[in-house]
Chains A and B, each alone.
Chain A
């Protein structure tokens, strides 16, 4: 995107509510942006229920600071993260509900014309804080315009029991998919099996399926949205998944998001892929100190494509056009994304929420615990859903319909041959991308 300082000055001057304050954190840029909240404004934000408590505490504390500074009351409601999508959709459809919402994945692309343009704000923040990472930016922008602010990437990494992996004869965790398969076989033999979600777990199921596909060079659609799932690469990914599945603890095809954490923390599993919450829980429980000391994390192994690629969960904050207080909402987001607040939030989230602005890479949380390191790069290595096609209704629908999850699950459980599973997935993908 070509956006110059001159553009910012022009657009900022263009809106009556914006007042240009001199001097900012970024001296090179030299201009601060702020919006004057409307008279008597109050806001309602609907966010997903936090996975780690520190996230919510920090967010609420920042919000309180905002209220103290501006007098604008902000009510923060929360919903289970899977309920956010329907709620946001209903709000967009009926034109009433919370002013701001933290949504997931392609949600902003499902109703872009119902969302307030925040390009000016996003460009200001991007310029000030080292730029947005490409992946999260894709989710929150359309045709060069920001329809939301990329807020966080919930990273996903291998979480494992170091002592058991060593017992099985591996001094270091493998970084390549082939070695990883050997490790899984060894873990199974040693009685400490691994487990990855093949069930309808919105986060874990999709993360695993996409990693399988992408690490082997497969992709669902091409740049034009034409289905390309039926490829030798997909077949390789499925064959790999089949081999890996044979080493799993039984029951993974029925798992939802929480099963792997639960079994891992209970000592039934040696290796899972998860957000940092699987480590956060024992770390903050003195009774599980021994377990926490044995936990290590690392990125998921790199496949034949030769680089780290993952889906991850990306959340963006959107402002609905129907809000009565657009400037108050913009000012709230600006305030929350400024260094004083954002650093506090990223620290509070204990490595659960990875920054979307590059300047926050230097947040001390990432170096405070070696187990947090793999999560620090989540925004940099993520690949958007529905790669390599456009984001939007079709990519969201395919994920919501668990098409890739089902494809792998069918093949590994023997419910279908690999080719049948691919054919079925192709048909379902074509259905959504047909228009």
Chain B
């Protein structure tokens, strides 16, 4: 490379453009980054920008919109259904994420033990994550059916209840049911990622802790958990984002019902924007999700990642 450069530069200023570009680190770097930049601009920045713009217009399906400032947002501010969907989304995301984290971590710790058929169990655990959401949602739809639920059937057979449980008809039950389905689906992602994190923790740390007389809880609290925190931050950020923007599960199970008790911002945005034809308002609802998503990301990054021990502090 060095020899090559010396030879080339001795030729002088009349080198072809291509050769000069080949030698320029800046130009090469730019060239290599160009495809990624184009993809990002085309498929991320442009749709996002367009979405934000649409939120400020009264565009409808089949009719170009005009700029109406904050009118969509002003209406949403006064709209009970919108606020209900915000409440539902926050409830759904926080309860589902906490459960997914707790159960996922527990599962990861179990899978990290020396179990017989370890590889088999690890593969099985991934199943809910691998099955397409729509398929698992349809399975849950049957499980939660007002008349044919297998859960209700079993409980009736056991004599615990007399009437089938109204899973998707009662607002509280419906919320709990969709959260449960989301948790079932999301646990593998959390569990397998945390398991990967657990396996990077050197066994010597546990040995040292054991020699110091640490109990198993103390080993978890002072060795496992701190070393796992960075990966927890990442996995929970993703988990929160996936949950917050969930759509398919709700669309298949309840379509936002009963009486909008399970409408999430994403499903309401679709209902108003596409089914209802009001692209501007649909976009505004989608844009209203961004601050929540940013807050979730910032919380994960600043709240969980930037701990002093990570910078070499002692606690």
Knowing A249-B146, A406-B260, A415-B259, say if A401 contacts B254 (CB, 8 Å).
no
Q: Which residues of A contact B254 (CB under 8 A)?
A: 199-200, 254, 256
A-B contact count (CB 8 A): 119
Please tell me if the beta carbons of B257 and A110 are within 8 angstroms of each other in the complex: no
Question: How many residues on A have C-beta within 8 angstroms of the other chain's C-beta atoms?
Answer: 41
When each residue 235-257 of chain B gets 1 if its CB lies under 8 Å from chain A and 0 otherwise, what string results?
00000000000000000001111
Please tell me if the beta carbons of A400 and B276 are within 8 angstroms of each other in the complex: yes
Please tell me if the beta carbons of A92 and B257 are within 8 angstroms of each other in the complex: no
CB distance from A82 to the nearest CB of B (A): 8
Knowing A256-B255, A400-B275, A401-B272, say if A251 contacts B171 (CB, 8 Å).
no
Is A198 at the interface (CB under 8 A from chain B)? Answer: yes
- Cα A293 to Cα B174 in complex, Å, equals 37
Is A252 at the interface (CB under 8 A from chain B)? Answer: yes
* Cβ-neighbour of A110 out of B60, B145, B146, B168 (below 8 A): B60
Please tell me if the beta carbons of A413 and B62 are within 8 angstroms of each other in the complex: no
- Cα A262 to Cα B168 in complex, Å, equals 16
- Cα A253 to Cα B171 in complex, Å, equals 9
Chain A 255-301 residues near chain B, CB threshold 8 A: 255-256, 259, 262-263, 266, 268
Is A168 at the interface (CB under 8 A from chain B)? Answer: no
- Cα A90 to Cα B171 in complex, Å, equals 33
Please tell me if the beta carbons of B148 and A397 are within 8 angstroms of each other in the complex: no
Please tell me if the beta carbons of B275 and A251 are within 8 angstroms of each other in the complex: no
Knowing A92-B62, A254-B168, say if A259 contacts B146 (CB, 8 Å).
yes
CB distance from B205 to the nearest CB of A (A): 51
CB distance from B116 to the nearest CB of A (A): 42
CB nearest to B270 among chain A residues:
A86
- B-side binding surface: helix, strand, loop or mixed? loop
Is A358 at the interface (CB under 8 A from chain B)? Answer: no
Q: Which residues of A contact B145 (CB under 8 A)?
A: 259, 262
* Cβ-neighbour of A253 out of B79, B256, B259 (below 8 A): B259
Is A410 at the interface (CB under 8 A from chain B)? Answer: yes
Please tell me if the beta carbons of A251 and B274 are within 8 angstroms of each other in the complex: no
The CB with the most chain B CB atoms within 10 A, among A90, A114, A200, A252, is that of: A200
CB distance from A243 to the nearest CB of B (A): 18
Inter-chain pairs besides A110-B277, A262-B145, A431-B79, 5 sampled, C-beta below 8 Å: A86-B275, A200-B254, A252-B169, A396-B277, A401-B81
Q: List 24 A-B contacts (CB under 8 A).
A: A92-B61, A114-B62, A198-B258, A199-B169, A200-B255, A200-B257, A249-B147, A251-B146, A253-B169, A253-B170, A254-B169, A256-B254, A259-B145, A259-B146, A262-B148, A397-B276, A397-B278, A400-B271, A401-B81, A401-B271, A401-B276, A402-B257, A406-B259, A415-B259
Smallest CB-CB A-B distances: 4 pairs:
A251-B146, A111-B62, A254-B168, A254-B169
